[in-house]
Structure 1
Amino acid sequence: MLTDRWLKTAYAYLYIRDFQAARRAFDEAITENPENPEYHFHASVTALRNGETGYAMEAAKQAVLLDPENALYAVHLGAVTAQALVIEASAALREGRATETKELLLRALEADPLCERAHELLAELG
């Protein structure tokens, strides 16, 4: 099956830590079989490693939509959501909006209680 080839290619790129190429290979697998939540999940994980939070969010949402019973996909979506909120909170903090920063960080911790960066920034806020 063609999709399996793309999946094997993506894993090979992950092994050599070429995350951009891995993400492109996962995208090809998704193109071949868009109803497979595993492909969306792996594309999301890889995009998150690349710092592509927006893409990671969309792919994570799609994985959960396709397989809402999969706890791993749900936890990953929480982690991606938390990271996106931390990025937003960091921008608010740089602009001196402490109240908004705190609210965003608390939302991040609701999405992922283990989000270290959210805990760190909250501690800095005092």
Structure 2
Amino acid sequence: MDGEGCIKKAYECILNGDFDGAIEWFLQAIQLEPRNASFHYKCSVSCARSGRWELALQHAAKACELKPDHEEYRYHLDVVEARRLVSDAKLIMASESGSASEAMEFLQEARILDPLQAEACYLAAVCCMQLGRLQEARLLAAEACRLEPAMEEARQLNRQLKRMLRRRGRD
């Protein structure tokens, strides 16, 4: 079987809800045609959808390396990298030794790479709140709500910050 045949099998797997099977077929296509940027890109998209961020990042980077002027590949790489940075920031925030300012560095980079990343805005708002930067936190929470109106935790944080800032104005 050639690379295109593997890609067809991967799409069959996707249509059947077998995303791990699809990734295996994409990887097989890549083994057959390692310089095919499209195969790396398609594999990366499926890996990202399955939460396999490191593999998604690896293949997104390879697609960009093979076709550096391809805007769609570059955009996808930025989105995957942003998601990985958000994941790293969450780990920092959850650790005993992690600090809000350290997590904020990751989140700021994520927001630069993917300005539509609502979770990065929400987590940055949480960090700003922890750092006492309430006005900035409020703006970030509002941005998270704008980007993802169904994100309940961002809406709750936004309301909480509004109340805090109103009370602060009365003090």
Q: Which consecutive segments of 4 or more residues in structure 1 shift more than 3 A?
A: none
* Letter of the structure 2 residue corresponding to residue 121 of structure 1: L
1:10-89 → structure 2 map (5 Å cutoff): 10-89=10-89
Question: Residue in 2 aligned with 1:122?
Answer: 124
* Letter of the structure 2 residue corresponding to residue 84 of structure 1: R
Question: In the aligned structure 1, how far is the partner of 2:121 from the partner of 2:18?
Answer: 30
Question: In the aligned structure 1, how far is the partner of 2:61 from the partner of 2:67?
Answer: 10
* Letter of the structure 2 residue corresponding to residue 120 of structure 1: Y
Identity %: 33
Question: In the aligned structure 2, how far is the partner of 1:68 from the partner of 1:15?
Answer: 30
* Letter of the structure 1 residue corresponding to residue 32 of structure 2: E
> More displaced, 110-119 or 37-46?
110-119
Question: In the aligned structure 1, how far is the partner of 2:6 from the partner of 2:118?
Answer: 33
Matched, 1:97 2:76: no
Residues 83-122 of structure 1 deviation map (CA, whole Å, 9 limit, x = unaligned):
1100110011112410011111001111111112101111
CA RMSD of superposed structures (Å):
1.1
Matched residue SS, 1:51: coil
Matched, 1:109 2:111: yes
Unaligned runs of 5+ in 1: none
Residue 2 of structure 1, CA deviation:
1.4
Higher relative contact order (CA 8 A, sep 6+): 1
Residue 48 of structure 1, CA deviation:
1.0
> More displaced, 7-16 or 57-66?
7-16
* Letter of the structure 1 residue corresponding to residue 104 of structure 2: K
Residue 124 of structure 1, CA deviation:
2.3
Question: In the aligned structure 1, how far is the partner of 2:99 from the partner of 2:19?
Answer: 34
Residue 38 of structure 1, CA deviation:
0.4
TM-score, normalised by the number of residues in structure 1: 0.95
Unaligned runs of 5+ in 2: 128-136, 138-171
